[in-house]
Structure 1
Amino acid sequence: MGQADLPTLSVVIVTYGRATFLERCLRSLHGEGADISQLVVVDASPEPSQELAENAYTGLLYLHAPELAGHMTRARNRALLHVEGDVIAYLDDDVVVHPGWARAVRLGFHEEAIDALVGRTLNGQTGEEDPTQPIGTLERDGRLTAGFAAAAPGRLTVAHGIGANMSFTREALRRLGGFRDDYPGTALREDTDIFLRIQRLGGVAMFDPAAVVDHLPAPHVRGRRFDTRYKLYGRRNHIVLLARHGGLASAQLRRWMQGQLADVMRVPGVRRKIERFGVTTLGLVWGVAAAFRQAGLRPLAPERSGVDASSIRASLQDPVH
């Protein structure tokens, strides 16, 4: 199949304070050759790493935006003002792509009538290639299943994806007006949110096991993964997510909150139960308060509004080849 038959691909990498990881990611993209039409790096670090980035991948577009520090989704949206491809792929700065990743992404959008694609994301964990739960679902009780490292036999439809290795059509991002940029802290659920919004517009997302990356997590610039701060933001942002897509009065949100409290009793030891109860309760109260401000009793429209969304729509109006 010729290059001209496939959609063009812009790859976006958002980074902050992790220059060595960015360099490793960029060097892994070298072998993707003509399958990448454009590579955009949005760097929110205080000091620029433009020379390092350009040495690692010749011809990239480097955007130094220190004012976006701590706002990953705003950095994702900043890239949308510059992308040229029919398909826009987002990679975390701490991934390494497997050979043929870009080609697989392009083939996925060419061969399937889809609006979004999530690739296989390996974390080096034992048994991850054979998950016990379905891949990428939103369950009736509000829980999310992952399984994005699965060695699936082929593409399959999913409800949501993972931000480390996700791609979208230009048109889908245009209609949505870009990412919602108000999932604070660790930005947990910003990736889930955009997949669910695509689904609510009638769009389709698929998991493609051929678009493979190794996710080799870099340390957080602030705090540690799965520390108390991470857990609090996780619960807060999950409530806002469910409220935005089902409303604060939804049975799904109620079931999820009940499940979180029930999980406290499964923790062994009195001290750990008390600690878990405190974190869970604080996260739930914080989440409900945030959902009243940012969502409401009814679901929000999937399309963003406002000046930023309008700028993104205008920029994505027509593909540039």
Structure 2
Amino acid sequence: MRFSLVLATKNRVTEVERFLRSLATQSHTDFEVIIVDQNRDDRLVELIEFYSQKFFILHLKQLESGLSRARNLGRSHIKGDLVAFPDDDCLYPPELLAQVVRFFRDSQTEGVIARALDIDEDKNAFLYCGDDNSGIVDLEKAFRIGITFLMFFHAHIVKEIAFDETIGPGSGTPWGCGEDMDYLFKCIRAGYKIYYNAKLIVRHPNPFKIYNFRQLVWREYSYGRGNGYLMGNNFPTSFVRAEILPNFPYVITYMFKGRFDYSVYVAAAIIGMSLGYWDSVKQPKSIQTMQKSTVGSIS
């Protein structure tokens, strides 16, 4: 099985080199890399030329920002049997692609989601994502673990289903994340069976180790707003309440523990989720319905 790995990137070089270096160590070597470069300069050219001697790289330039927009461009060029959308700051352990191939050969599912561990230690990269309970993914499970760089699909799914370019980083909208969960929702609603396999590991930096206080507050707010928007478009009000309300006590708890920073992070996420939910409530139902069913077939 051949992989098409669609890597969207902007403003990063060292992290991209780290990912490409991890590909050079893969035991399964049948893959192509499609780099969608949204930098306005040529900072990646030398790096791409070096690694193109080790494996095939298609270098696409796209000056208009937007993670979903970049992934949609990349998906129009895939030639592999399996497709993944790695982040430009993640890395693949040496056996990952071989493990994914073995999983698909033994499975009747059309997609699999890996687990995200920290770059430096065997702990979850994110506080809110990843557990030991492997199994079929429904909409609620997808909301908990739906991160694009962890997903691997049969190519026919990716050719059929497009990313929503109005959601996610660089979209120009308030919804700074959620394009990944939205994509997973579309796959599940289209009838495709997706499996979460906690034994498949992708490495990713822990945000609390690489961002400063202001960046983390903005990240929690922005991601919260995207999550709230998705919740409002895909789940009943009872689910939204159950997701937002239990977070309020953590604001006070962290404050009493002297963790003012964590208290602010949680508060930012609550505000973001609440505003994101309100975004979905204000939105005309005709647009909600269209977004839930959007596909973008590649002939």
Query: Once the 2 structures are TM-superposed, how far is the Cα of residue 255 of structure 1 from its aligned partner?
Result: 2.4
Q: 1:255 to 1:226 in 2, by over 3 A?
A: farther
Q: 1:255 to 1:36 in 2, by over 3 A?
A: same
Q: 1:220 to 1:174 in 2, by over 3 A?
A: farther
Which residue of structure 1 aligns with residue 173 of structure 2?
none
Which residue of structure 2 aligns with residue 157 of structure 1?
136
Pairs within 5 Å for 1:214-229: 214-216=203-205, 227-229=216-218
Please tell me whether residue 62 in structure 1 is matched to residue 59 in structure 2: yes
Structure 1 residue runs of 5 or longer lacking an equivalent are: 1-6, 137-143
CA contact (8 A) 2:26 2:94 kept: yes
SS at match of 1:74: helix
Give the one of 81, 84, 94 matched to 1:86: 81
Query: TM-score scaled to structure 2, two decimals?
Result: 0.78
Which residue of structure 1 aligns with residue 92 of structure 2?
97
Distance in 1, Cα, partners of 2:265 & 2:86: 33
CA contact (8 A) 1:32 1:99 kept: yes
Q: 1:224 to 1:175 in 2, by over 3 A?
A: farther
Which residue of structure 1 aligns with residue 151 of structure 2?
166
Query: TM-score scaled to structure 1, two decimals?
Result: 0.73
Which residue of structure 2 aligns with residue 21 of structure 1?
15
Q: 1:300 to 1:262 in 2, by over 3 A?
A: farther
Q: 1:227 to 1:218 in 2, by over 3 A?
A: closer
Distance in 2, Cα, partners of 1:271 & 1:97: 33
Runs of 4+ aligned structure 1 residues displaced above 4 Å come to 124-127, 217-226, 269-278, 293-299
CA contact (8 A) 2:225 2:275 kept: yes
SS at match of 1:31: coil
Residues matched between the structures, number = 282
SS at match of 1:60: strand
SS at match of 1:214: strand
SS at match of 1:39: strand
CA contact (8 A) 2:112 2:153 kept: yes
Please tell me whether residue 179 in structure 1 is matched to residue 163 in structure 2: yes
1:249-294 per-position Cα deviation (integer Å, ceiling 9, x unaligned): 5321132232344443434249959957964664245313421355
Please tell me whether residue 256 in structure 1 is matched to residue 243 in structure 2: yes
SS at match of 1:202: coil
Which residue of structure 2 aligns with residue 147 of structure 1?
130
Q: 1:219 to 1:171 in 2, by over 3 A?
A: same
Which residue of structure 2 aligns with residue 8 of structure 1?
2
CA contact (8 A) 2:167 2:179 kept: yes
Q: 1:75 to 1:298 in 2, by over 3 A?
A: closer
CA contact (8 A) 1:243 1:297 kept: no
Query: Once the 2 structures are TM-superposed, how far is the Cα of residue 226 of structure 1 from its aligned partner?
Result: 5.8
Q: Which letter maps to 1:259? A: P
Please tell me whether residue 47 in structure 1 is matched to residue 30 in structure 2: no
Distance in 1, Cα, partners of 2:208 & 2:14: 12
Query: Once the 2 structures are TM-superposed, how far is the Cα of residue 79 of structure 1 from its aligned partner?
Result: 0.3
Query: Once the 2 structures are TM-superposed, how far is the Cα of residue 77 of structure 1 from its aligned partner?
Result: 1.1
CA contact (8 A) 1:240 1:287 kept: yes
Q: Which letter maps to 1:37? A: F
CA contact (8 A) 1:32 1:102 kept: yes
CA contact (8 A) 2:244 2:274 kept: no
1:22-51 per-position Cα deviation (integer Å, ceiling 9, x unaligned): 112112112336643321111111212123
Distance in 2, Cα, partners of 1:92 & 1:232: 21
Pairs within 5 Å for 1:105-254: 105-124=100-119, 128=123, 146-147=129-130, 156-158=135-137, 159-160=141-142, 161-176=146-161, 178-185=162-169, 187-216=176-205, 227-246=216-235, 250-254=237-241
Distance in 2, Cα, partners of 1:280 & 1:30: 38
Distance in 1, Cα, partners of 2:120 & 2:154: 31
Structure 2 residue runs of 5 or longer lacking an equivalent are: 171-175
1:54-89 per-position Cα deviation (integer Å, ceiling 9, x unaligned): 312432101121222xx1121111101111122111
Distance in 2, Cα, partners of 1:218 & 1:235: 15
Which residue of structure 2 aligns with residue 304 of structure 1?
294
Which residue of structure 1 aligns with residue 275 of structure 2?
286
The percent of aligned pairs where both chains have the same amino acid is 21
CA contact (8 A) 2:15 2:89 kept: yes
Q: 1:38 to 1:208 in 2, by over 3 A?
A: same
Distance in 1, Cα, partners of 2:263 & 2:118: 31
